Structure formats: structure tokens, C-alpha cells
Amino acid sequence: MTAPMIGNYGINPEDVESDRPRVVGVVVRELSATPSNWRSTGTLIDWLAGAKVPLVSEVDTRQLTRHIRSKGAMRGVLALGEKPSDAISAALAASPSMNGLDLASAATIPTRTARDRQTRSITSSRSTSG
């Protein structure tokens, strides 16, 4: 994520639109450990940890974005240590090519939620009432 600080809103179950985070890892510049939103009931880091989603912070995400834009989409891995172990390197080599990979299907929820149906109903009524 390229916003300067992530997590300052926190997590509120009423706002969650999926049964789980739809990411396999999160990279941020700065992570707020203390949410400031009055509706927050938890932290982003706890929510991601509960779903076993790794998070790395203190990364120049804008520079990373520039690199990806100039070099194209590429595979990657989040791991501990100075350099990847043989097992991490093997896992990366075995991961699917980004060429033609349909990531949207993996990030899309399988069925509409009650909240989604309500939002669509409100949007539909607004567009037909004018």
C-alpha cells in the first residue's frame, strides 16, 4: 500500500466486506499500531495476524511501486532474514508466472453478502429516482 500510514483507522467488523482478508501479504511504509477511529474495535495488525497474513513495514512502497511499474508485474515473497533461504527460493521459483494470472478471481468473494445486496439496493433506488 502506498499511503504514508496504514492502520490508523483500525478494524470494525461492521465494515468488513469479506469473510477474510483477500491478500496473501501486506507491505506498508508505516504501520499505525494504535487506531484513532472512534468506531475501531481492533488493530489492522491483529486482524491480519488472526488470518495468518504476513505484514512487513518500513518499506519505501512508493519506490517499490515505481520499480514494478518500470519492470512489470513480478512474483515475490515475504520472508525473514537478510537473504532468502534455499526453501524460500524454491517456493518462489515454484510459484505461478504473473503472465496471464487471474488474481481478481482469488480476491473476489464467492457469494454476495447481505451488506452488498443492501448497498446495491440503495444505489439502484438512487439511480431510478431521478
Residue 97: per-residue pLDDT: 87
Q: What is the pLDDT of residue 13?
A: 85
Can you tell me which residue has the cell 512474483?
75
- Which residue stretches of the chain have pLDDT < 50? 122-123
Determine the pLDDT at residue 119: 53
- Give DSSP secondary structure letters for the chain: --SS-BSTT-B-GGG--SSS-S-S-EE-S-B-SS---TT--B-HHHHHHHTT--EE-S--HHHHHHHHHHH--------SSSS--HHHHHHHHHSPPSTT--HHHHHS-SS--HHHHHHHHHHHHHHH--
Is this prediction's pTM over 0.75?
no
Residue 118: per-residue pLDDT = 56
The pLDDT of residue 16: 82
pLDDT recorded at residue 15: 86
Rama region for 10: left / alpha / beta (φ>0; ψ in -120 to 50; rest)? left
Q: What is the pLDDT of residue 23?
A: 86
Residue 27 pLDDT: 93
Q: Give first-to-last CA distance, the chain, whole Å.
A: 37
